[in-house]
Structure 1
Amino acid sequence: MSTPALEDLLRELAPQVLGALVRRFGDFSAAEDAVQEALIDAAVQWPRDGRPDNPRGWLIRVAHRRMTDHLRSEIARRRREDTEGTHIPRDHFLSPAADAPPADVDDTLTLLFLCCHPDLTPSAQIPLTLRAVGGLTTAEIASAFLVPEATMAKRVTRAKQKIKGSRFRLPTAADWPDRLGAVLHVLYLVFNEGYTSTSGESLQRVELAAEAIRLARLLNRMLPDDHEVAGLLALMLLTDARRAARTGPSGELVPMAEQDRTLWDRAEIAEGVTLVSKALTSTDRFGPYQLQAAIAAVHDEAASDEATDWPQILALYHLLAGITDNPVTTLNQAVAELKVNGPAAALATLDRAAADDRLTGHYRIDALRAHILEAAGDQEAARTHYQKAAQSTQSPPERTYLQKKATPNP
C-alpha cells in the first residue's frame, strides 16, 4: 500500500520519466502507458523491498524496459500480419540497453514545450500539460474543466495524436515567439491549480505548485532577460509564500486578511520582490505577469491587511486592465475598490465582471458580492449570496468556508 509521501514522490517524478521516454522513443501515448506501468510497479515494490537510492533512474529503467517490450511486440505483430514498411530501427529500442543507467537529464521543460505545440489550441494544450507535466488524472482534469471524463479523455487523446511525430526538442530562437506565450500561460494555470485546487478534499496541491515553480526557474535561467518570464516566476514565489498560512489545522480555508503573516515564507518573498523589481525597472513595457507580481509584492510586504497600500494595488489593477482582457482582473479590482472607494464602487466594478459571459455561473461572483454586501452592512443579502457561492464551488474547503459565512451567528 503506497503512502501519501510515496504518492507525492511518484507524482513528482512521473513527468521527468515521461520526458525521458518521449525523447528516447518519440511515441507519446506508448511512453505514457509505460510510465504508468512503472509507477504501479514502484507503488507495489518500494513499500515491500525498500525505496531505491535513485528513484528516478529506477523508474526510467523499468519504463524503458516496458517500452522496449511494447516495441518488440508491435514489430512481431506487424511481421505476423505481413505488413510492409516497418521502419523502426533495431537500435531504437535496443540501444542503450534497458538496464543501462539513464542519462541524468530532466526533460520536463522540453515535455512542457511539446504539450504547448502551436498546432494545438489552448483547450488542448492545457489539459495535455496538466496530464503529462502536472500528473493529474483525466477525471481530475475533467472536473476542473467542468466536462464529462469521457469528453476530456477524447480531447487529450486527440491532442496526443496531433503532436505524434513532432521532434522532442526545445524550440529554436525563431520558434520562441510562437511558443513562449502559450508555455507561460499553461505554467500559470498549472500553478493556480496547485495553489487553489478546483477539485479534491485539499485546498492546495503543493507538489503541482512546486513543479510549476521549478519549471519557471528553468525557463528563467534559459531566458534571464525576458521580463515576463521573470514576472511569472516572481508571481508564483510571492503567491506561494503565503501557502502555510492559507489553511488552518483541519485544512480549512483562511482568507488573506485573517492569515498569520509570520507564517509567510520571507525567503520566497525576498526573492520574488527582487525579481519583479528588476523586471519592472528594466523596461517601460509592462506585461500582465509583471503587474500581477507587483500586486502580490505589495500584499506580501504589508504587515497586515489594514496596513496594505490599497491605493497602489488599485492603480496597478487599472494598469493591468488596460493590457489584458481578463474578467478575473476586474473581480480582483473590485476588492481593491472596496478598500479604497467603498461598497458602491466595488459593486459597480463587480457588475462589470459579472456581465462577462466567461464568468457565468462562477462561484466567485456570488462570493465577492456577499463580501461586499457584508461590508455594506446588508447581512441577510450577504448570507444569501454566500450560500449560492457555496453551492457552486467544486472545492470542499471553499464550500465549508462559504457555508460557515452563510450561517447566522447565534
Structure 2
Amino acid sequence: MNIFEDTSSSTVRERPLRVALLGCSGSIGTQTLDVIRMHPDKLALTAVAVNSSAAKLVSVAREFGVAHAAIADEARRNDPALAELPQGCELDFGEDAVTRLATLPDVDCVLVAVVGEAGIWASHAALAAGKIWAPANKEALVIGGGLLMPLAKPGRVLPVDSEHNAIYQCLVGERRRDLRKIWLTCSGGPFFGRTREQLEGVTAAEALAHPTWKMGAKITIDCATLMNKGLEVIEAHHLFDVAIDDVEVLVHRQSKIHSAVEFADGSVKAQLGPSDMRVAIQYALSYPERWDSPATHVDWRSSEPLTFAAPDRGAFRCLDLALEAGRTGGTLPCAMNAANEVANEAFRQDRCGFCDIDRIVERVMNATSVESLTSLEQIAEVDALARKRARGFVSELA
C-alpha cells in the first residue's frame, strides 16, 4: 500500500486541523500538547482520552476547550476531579468510548498515543472512518498491520515514531521501486557494549536511564532490551511495504540521525535533527507543510561526531525474537508483543530479571500455534492467551 500522495499542488488548509489525541497524559501526549499550544491557528484539539488520569483529562479539556473526552477506566466515573470538567464537554467511559472518539465528525486527525494492544481498536476505527491516522502506538501495527494497512489511503497515514517519521520524510518525492534498504537507527540504550553476562544483574532503575530520549517507562525498557527496535522493524515492514530483512538496524549513539533510506544507485537519504519527539509529532500534524518548531535547533558546527555500530544480537536477544515473529507473520507478532508487555512490566516490578524478558518471550512464541490473521477479535484472543502464558512463566521465576 502506498501511503504517500502527490503534494505538489497541495493547498493551505482553510481551517485548523481538528485533532483527537488518544493518550494525552503520557510522554507523547504531553509533547503533542506542546505542539498544539505553539500553533493554535493551525491545530484544534477537539477530543482527548486517557486511561485513568481524570485530573489530567480535566486540565487538558479546560485549557484547550475540548468538546469530547473519554476515560478507558470505568472505575473513574465518580472521580471528584471530573466535577471541574468544562461545561459542554461530552464525557464517556470505557475502551469503546475511546474508540468512538476516532470516528467523530468534528475530528480530522486521530493521534493514537495509548500504550500497548489497546491502540489497535481506535486505529482501525480511524482508518475505517477515513481519518488521518497518526500512529504513535507501534503495537497496533506490529500485531495487526495486516488488517490496518489495507484500509490506509494515500496521504492519510502519518507515522509519529521518530524513526518512521524520518523514513516517511526521506521517501517523499521518491519512486518506491528505487528503494533498496531502510536503515533504522537506535541509540543502543543504556547498556550498549555490555555482555550477556553483565546484563543478567542490571536493575530496572538502570534500564530506565535512557541516554538521549525522554519516554514512558514501558518503551524505555523496550529500548534497553532492543525489543523496541524489533517492533519498529515490523512497523516499517507494514508502513512502507518492505520485507523484514530489507530493514537494517543501525546503532547510532548520538540520536541525531533518526533513520535513513538507501536507493538502488547507492545513494542514501537521512533525516537529521534534535533528539526531540516534538519534531516528528509536528511533522505528522503539519504535513505537507513545515512549521516553526518548539524544539531547540542543532548547531552542527559544535555537534559531537556521529558514530555507527551493529547491534549485539547475542546479548540483546529480543531483537532477533521480534524479527523472527515478523518474518513468520500471522498471529505470532501478536503473541510476541503480548508476552513482551507482561515480561516488561514484571521486570519493572522486580518480579523477573532483565534477561528473563527475552526468555519469557521466547517461551510464549514457542508455545504459540501460528494462524493467519483474520480479525480484531482473533487478535484479542491471541493476546489474552499469550499474556496468560507469560504470567505463568513469570510466576515460575518467583
Please say whether Structure 1 and Structure 2 have the same fold, judged by a TM-score greater than 0.5.
no
TM-score when normalising by structure 2: 0.29
Larger strand proportion, structure 1 or 2? Answer: 2
